Structure 1
């Protein structure tokens, strides 16, 4: 045995090195595709090991979860406590516009809890750290080639249920009970889910409006968090039921099969993709924040032209860009029933 082998080193031949490179490339491709080599639809939402720090450029107009625990902790319940579960729903921005968006069925969803032992109520919801617009469209910063995204979403847990807020134009309904022990297990799941699911996704992208449509991308928003919570509660043994129809807001885009374009370095760091990079920046320019009324009117016309006439939409999903070949009816906001599990 030579000296390198005695130290535990492995000297690779050129042929083996090339084979390893091919294997690495295959694994990278398979991470985007199914085992049969075809693209997996819907594209799986990417999870992360931990939540990244917030860039100082991103600043919320309204602070995120102002009355919740700064470290995201959820109170511990006694094992024998009885915890009531409430379904909460209200129009988006109801505090500012009243029921206006409720008439369009644009609703925000949350879950409420009440401890029999202490009589304390709690609200749990998942929403954007930097408001919806920043999670849906990026900023175009002159000093940066790639669009800059302020996109994070997170769970917020705080004491109290604002009965009037949830019930006046929406829903506040008890749907079940769990023990304190089951609640503590749910709390651990919420913290794990919150740590690994870090960004908000507004759009659900389908091939067409039919019941058998292919889902290209799934949204990741407040209602999806509520659905995941209900499923987890059911796994923990809760029996959930509602006297009213359990409808939820969905915002759909309709397109043919999407084309994968790449991440920031792929697109904005490669001279060969300069035209694609230009098209993406031009597309998002129509959705830039802080526009005057006149600028907004022009931007809406440009966005309409891109989506309807040019049948083009650039989607940012899993920190990667996809091109959507849009098709009628292009976009739709629905209020669909999703039964309790």
Structure 2
């Protein structure tokens, strides 16, 4: 490479300049890469792994409905004999059924959970992964005034809740309760261990799927009740479970379409950039005017007009803020099938 840059003769002065430029670039570049740039992201990025669940700010409240009010505490999940038999059920019900009945089923906006029936004892268990502070708070931050300055306060955590019993009426009336597998007690015990570890390492909820367009690149995957159920079934399969391939299950996604996302800062650096902070405050302030996440979903057509005008959205993922340059059709609700794990052994 040096021989191609340095050619002595009548071009000596030009080549000396080239050589000096070469030295400057290759001397400074390593420092520039380590101090002023970040590696190019891999799409879609993996959800950040934590070694423990972060403490939530006391400011964050669950609201009227507390998280997992009848859930079994850590270490109190019943263990079964390794040779016991359990039936595994996929369960679905409309989101906010307690408030809207089957209204959101008409839009295919469904909440997902898993049920277990212990054959030997007759006991039933429900397990569902959902937000600690309700969906709206996991999707948009609060605008909080601290020392006369505006801060973006996120109340965003999700976790698995396990409690005794299966409310058959709740899951069957407007949704789904269907057997998908039959597992041993050994698989169940190992799955519960996985769940406890998963609760510590993946504490955050993510509402949105972000794609380049229908059927195109995925920029960000969701991390919600549906994606947890899909991961849970895959984990059971890895532990030795076989699934009924005649069962077909669809899952809800709320998709945003954009060009490749642009990193605008993390949870700390945005406070050193007044322009970016002002844009984020203005953006999230618009959505904080809504009464709830249900209001956002039910009035999605109104937001399509907003996307058409602004062509802009911000997403918070892995403690970083990303700017989305929206492209048509901007946003879409989908209810697509995800096959159950299939044996390859």
Tell me the TM-score range normalised by the shorter chain: 0.7 to 0.9
Instruction: Answer yes or no: is 1:325 the counterpart of 2:325.
Output: yes
RMSD: 2.6
Residue matched to 2:84 = 81
Query: How far has the Cα of 1:146 moved from its partner?
Result: 2.8
SS at match of 2:268: helix
**Cα separation, partners in 2 of 1:172 and 1:202, compared to 1, 3 Å:** same
TM-score (norm 1): 0.84
Query: How far has the Cα of 1:22 moved from its partner?
Result: 4.0
Query: How far has the Cα of 1:142 moved from its partner?
Result: 1.8
Residue matched to 2:338 = 338
- Deviations 1:82-138, CA, capped at 9 Å, x for gaps: 011011011111122111000100000011001112110000110000110000001
SS at match of 1:54: coil
Residue matched to 1:250 = 253
Query: How far has the Cα of 1:70 moved from its partner?
Result: 3.1
Q: How does 1:192-211 map to 2 (within 5 A)?
A: 192-209=197-214, 211=215
Work out which of the residue numbers 37, 59, 62 in structure 2 matches 1:60: 62
Larger Rg: 2
**Whole-Å Cα distance in 1 between the matches of residues 328 and 37 of structure 2?**
34
Work out which of the residue numbers 186, 189, 194 in structure 2 matches 1:189: 194
Contact 2:91-2:171 at 8 Å conserved across structures: yes
**Structure 1: which 4+ aligned runs deviate by more than 6 Å?**
299-302
**Which structure 1 segments of 5+ residues have no match?**
1-17, 34-38
**Cα separation, partners in 2 of 1:300 and 1:172, compared to 1, 3 Å:** closer
Work out which of the residue numbers 98, 110, 114 in structure 2 matches 1:111: 114
Residue matched to 1:50 = 52
TM-score (norm 2): 0.83
SS at match of 2:287: coil
Deviates more, 1:257-266 or 1:148-157: 257-266
**Whole-Å Cα distance in 2 between the matches of residues 231 and 96 of structure 1?**
32
Contact 2:210-2:257 at 8 Å conserved across structures: yes
Contact 1:72-1:156 at 8 Å conserved across structures: no
Residue matched to 1:25 = 34
**Whole-Å Cα distance in 2 between the matches of residues 93 and 161 of structure 1?**
18
Query: How far has the Cα of 1:26 moved from its partner?
Result: 7.1
**Whole-Å Cα distance in 2 between the matches of residues 189 and 233 of structure 1?**
10
**Cα separation, partners in 2 of 1:177 and 1:219, compared to 1, 3 Å:** same
**Whole-Å Cα distance in 2 between the matches of residues 168 and 300 of structure 1?**
26
**Whole-Å Cα distance in 1 between the matches of residues 171 and 279 of structure 2?**
42
Contact 2:304-2:330 at 8 Å conserved across structures: no
Query: How far has the Cα of 1:221 moved from its partner?
Result: 0.1
